[in-house]
Amino acid sequence: MGSSLTHKILKEHLLSGELIPGREIAIKIDQTLTQDATGTMAYLQFESMGIPRVKSELSVSYVDHNTLQMGFENADDHRYLQTVAARYGVVFSRPGNGICHQVHLERFAAPGRTLLGSDSHTPTAGGMGMIAIGSGGLDVAVAMAGGEFYLTAPQVIKIELKGRLRKWVSAKDVIFYVLSVLSTKGNVNKVLEYAGDGVKTLSIPERATITNMGAETGVTTSIFPSDEITKAFLTAQDRKKDWRLMEADEGADYAQIINIDLSKLLPMAALPHSPGNVVPVKDICGRKVDQVEIGSCTNSSLRDLMVVGKLIAGKKVHPRVSLAIAPGSRQVFSMISKNGILSHMIDSGARIMESTCGFCIGSGQSPHTDAVSVRTSNRNFEGRSGTQSAGVYLVSPETAALAAIYGEFVDPLSMNEKDFPCVDLPERFDVDDSMIIYPPENAQGVKIIRGPNIGEPPVNSALAAHLEGVIAIKVGDKITTDHIMPAGPRLKYRSNIKKYAEFVFEGVEPKFFAYAAKLRAAKKAVFILAGESYGQGSSREHAALCPMFLGVKAVFAKSLERIHAANLVNFGILPLLFVDTSDYDKVDKDDEIRLTDVISCLDNNKNIILYDATKKISLEMKYLLSSRQKEIVKSGGLLNYTRGK
Ligand code: MIC
Ligand code: SF4
């Protein structure tokens, strides 16, 4: 039987294990990427490994998330990242050069290769026919040190595309449709592989929009084949040499097939507060809009901004609406400034932002109280915009541009077909890599500069055989890492775990920090009780690292998302799952809990008994850990485990 494209690339990179869905495998990582908000920890961890220079083919450090520089902390992080990159052989993309995923797609992504990034939207590069996976920063640090990356061999779902998108329907609407089928939970350890004749109708930026937001389904990654369109894009980026034909074998085997007729899709929107709440835009027409934000790693390519610019040319932004536009990269920014599109935007009343994540991560542009904010980004979790009472709607660039002009939701399909601004990608992009700094060959003399806000990563102790403690918080389903570890104004503490840990569960249970401190002082373990799909969303390992710092020893959940579960293991927190999920209802906050013989249960593959001393009940907990992961948890985390070896 033929191979899927996913399995072909995984096979070429397989270092250990069998490529049988569900089994743990280790693969070689060719490229890595980090961004500033997860990068400082990743490089501090890399430094602690004592390796003289990165061993990956290519490692790039981007500064794109936090560039507001409110206070010295942020600029200190940037300086640390620049100097540590030079010292260890990492390519450095300066602040202002663009959002990591957009720049990586333009300048570095290559078909057939593997990429590991400390950001959950790393799968954006899957639009280029590579296996691109998001993970915690520590896993990226290990990959930079030449270590293998462990993952569960995925089930591959084929998404067969036929037909062509109608005018006014966008690549974003394809992924919204996929989200309406798969939802945001229950897709762990799967890969979405796109195929079929419809693929040929989509440009690379459009494919990247689709693979980018595949992250919201919770899959390991998404991938498109590499074909003549990929070749043309790479040629236009002056990188033809990176092209390679990559496609699935005829008759390849898939776990599931989803058929999509592109010509039947409608413009869609994800309603507050989940990317999975999708409805056709026609169902919300007329709803008033207060803010429109265009950009983010999902929709900030030259194609997207050209469409937006042409749509708003000669028109004015509605008086109620604040429209902000952030080009995804300096290349995009520079090209729209030269071709006149930027003038149309400025003349319309749009506010032009830096080429960064900015609004998407709540770093500026928080909407007003109770606002309706319409965004082209990929996440609309409650409070992520920085305004708890705002409702964020996710849409395509086309829908966003119309909302900015009309001040309300307008169905793009109600527009005249001939008025749709078709955009052809240029034969040559403006290539100027002057904001990308290559490391010196001999970096021995390079001094790494650390500011006072940059602290050493905390270390954990080995797991105790018996754990006694208290459930300090009980949360429901779909708790995201934004709930656990808020970003926005708190981002500047990413390099200072002691300080950042004060904000764990800030928006959910503000007393959590004080409660955990009290339990720690009483030498009690801290436990977290969660529902389905705990740890959705971002890859930020701080959502495990800071709880670990506060004394969290185990999470009891109905189910866990992939990256967060791996981060819990990496920091020595036991990820335990209810054998009977209805047991979740029997346990409460403040309950005294005992876990006995934990080590011998792990060693003998036995379920762990959670004894609730308050309720006087025993519940059975399971875990999905490989032998290697058990050793990591027992050691108190990956750093201890690696040092021990
Ligand atoms: C996000 O979109 O949530 C982020 C901010 O890019 C995160 C990374 C982080 O928290 O630094 C992600 O997606 O992994
Ligand atoms: Fe940046 Fe938003 Fe993309 Fe995360 S989702 S990388 S914050 S633009």
Q: What is the CA radius of gyration of the chain?
A: 24
- Answer for the pair 193, 158: CB distance below 8 angstroms, yes or no: yes
Question: CB 334: neighbour CB atoms within 10 A?
Answer: 16
pLDDT at 410 over 80: yes
| Cross-strand bridge partners of residue 116 | 32, 133
What is the rounded distance in angstroms from the CA atom of residue 37 to the CA atom of residue 31?
19
Average pLDDT, integer, range 196-204: 98
Q: Does residue 34 contact residue 154 with C-beta atoms inside 8 Å?
A: no
Q: Which of 435, 491, 366 is nearest to 69 (CA)?
A: 491
Q: What is the mean pLDDT of the chain?
A: 97
pLDDT over 80 at 404, yes or no: yes
- Which residue's CA is minimally distant from atom 1 of ligand 2? 357
| Sign of the CA dihedral running 551, 554, 560, 564 | positive
Task: Give residue 71's pLDDT band: very low, low, confident or very high (50, 70, 90).
Answer: very high
Whether the model clears a pTM of 0.85, i.e. scores above it, the answer is yes
Q: State pLDDT tens for residues 141-172.
A: 999 999 999 999 999 999 999 999 999 999 99
Atom number of ligand 2 nearest to Cα 378? 5
Closest CA to 58 of 120, 109, 122: 109
Q: In whole angstroms, what is the distance from residue 141 CA to residue 120 CA?
A: 16
CA distances from 525 to 207, 275, 360, 467 (A): 46, 34, 35, 7
- Give the number of whichever ligand sits closest to the CA of residue 118: 1
In this prediction, residues 410-431 reach a mean pLDDT of: 96
Taking the CA of residue 361 as reference, the ligand 2 atom at the shortest distance is 7
Tell me the best of 68, 361, 384, 538 to mutate to test the pocket of ligand 2, counting ligand atoms within 8 Å of each CB and taking the most.
361
Distance CA 417, CA 207 (A): 23
The two tokens of residue 497 are 């775990």
Sheet holding 351-352, edge to edge: 278-280, 268-270, 391-394, 372-375, 291-294, 322-325, 351-352
Helix intervals (H) in 89-182: 100-107, 137-144, 171-182
Residue with tokens 């993309």: 93
285/277 Cα distance (integer angstroms): 16
Q: What is the pLDDT of residue 1?
A: 76
Which residues does residue 117 pair with via DSSP β-bridges, in sequence order? 33, 134
> Could you tell me if the CB of 538 is within 6 A of ligand 1?
yes
Contacts of 162 (CB under 8 A, 6+ apart): 196, 197, 198, 259, 260, 261, 262
According to the model, what pLDDT value does residue 645 have?
A: 76
List of domains in the chain: 5-264 (3.30.499.10), 268-409 (3.30.499.10), 467-640 (3.20.19.10)
Contact indicator for 116, 220 with CB cutoff of 8 Å: no
In whole angstroms, how far apart are CA 130 and each of 60, 376, 463? 16, 24, 37
Q: What is the pLDDT of residue 269?
A: 98
Residue bearing the CA closest to ligand 2, atom 2: 360
pLDDT in tens, 339-371: 999 999 999 999 999 999 999 999 999 999 999
DSSP state of 186: S
Percent of the chain past pLDDT 90, that is, above it, reads: 98
542 cis-preceded (ω within 30 degrees of 0) = no
> In the block, which residue shows the tokens 């010292």?
87
What is the separation, in whole angstroms, between the first and last Cα of the chain? 40
CB 527 within 8 A of CB 608: no
Q: Greater confidence, 593 or 642?
A: 593
Q: Identify the CA nearest to 359 among candidates 333, 337, 379, 332.
A: 379
Per-residue pLDDT reduced to its tens digit, 88-124:
999 999 999 999 999 999 999 999 999 999 999 999 9
Pairing of strands 14-16, 155-162: unpaired
249 versus 642: the higher-pLDDT residue is: 249
- Which helix H or strand E contains 545, and what residues bound it? helix 542-549
Q: How far apart are CA 369 and CA 484, in angstroms?
A: 23
Instruction: Round to whole Å and give the CA distance between 295 and 574.
Output: 38
Residue 72 predicted with pLDDT over 90: yes
Dig out the tokens for 487 from the structure: 């970003």
Q: Which of 331, 325, 328 lies closest to 348, judged by CA?
A: 325
Question: Which atom of ligand 1 lies at the shortest distance from residue 487's CA?
Answer: 10
Q: Is the pLDDT of residue 398 over 80?
A: yes
- Please write the tens of the pLDDT for every residue from 240-285: 999 999 999 999 999 999 999 999 999 999 999 999 999 999 999 9
Look at residues 331, 365, 379 and name the one whose alpha carbon lies nearest to residue 212. 379
Task: Give me the pLDDT at residue 642, please.
Answer: 86
Q: What is the pLDDT of residue 456?
A: 87
In the predicted structure, residue 2 carries a pLDDT above the cut 80: yes
Q: Is the CB of 539 under 6 A from ligand 1?
A: yes
Rounded to an integer, what distance in angstroms lies between the CA atom of residue 405 and that of residue 391? 19
The pLDDT score that the predictor gives to residue 165 is 98
Joined together, the tokens standing for residue 489 give 């104004």
* DSSP alpha helix (H) spans, 279-379: 302-312, 330-338, 341-348
Whether the Cβ atoms of residue 119 and residue 128 lie closer than 8 Å to each other: no
The pLDDT assigned to 307 comes to 98
3-state secondary structure 464-489: CCCEEEEEEEECCCCCEHHHHCCCHH
Question: Ligand 2 within 6 A of 99 CB?
Answer: yes
Q: Has residue 454 got a pLDDT over 80?
A: yes
Which conformational region is residue 131 in: left (phi greater than 0), alpha (psi within -120 to 50 degrees), or beta?
beta
For 5, 132, 178, 194, the CA distances from 161, given in Å and listed in that order, are: 16, 21, 11, 7
Ligand 1 center–CA 35 separation, angstroms = 9
Tokens of 472: 């300090």
Distance 523 CA to ligand 2 centre (A): 38
Mean pLDDT of 540-566: 97
Determine if ligand 2 sits within 6 Å of the CB of residue 378. yes
Burial letters 3-22, b for 16+ CB under 10 A, else e: bbbbbbbbeebbeebeeeee
Q: Answer whether 384 contacts ligand 1 (Cβ < 6 A).
A: no
Residue type at 244 in one-letter notation: R
**150 has which bridge partners?**
26
pLDDT of residue 644: 76
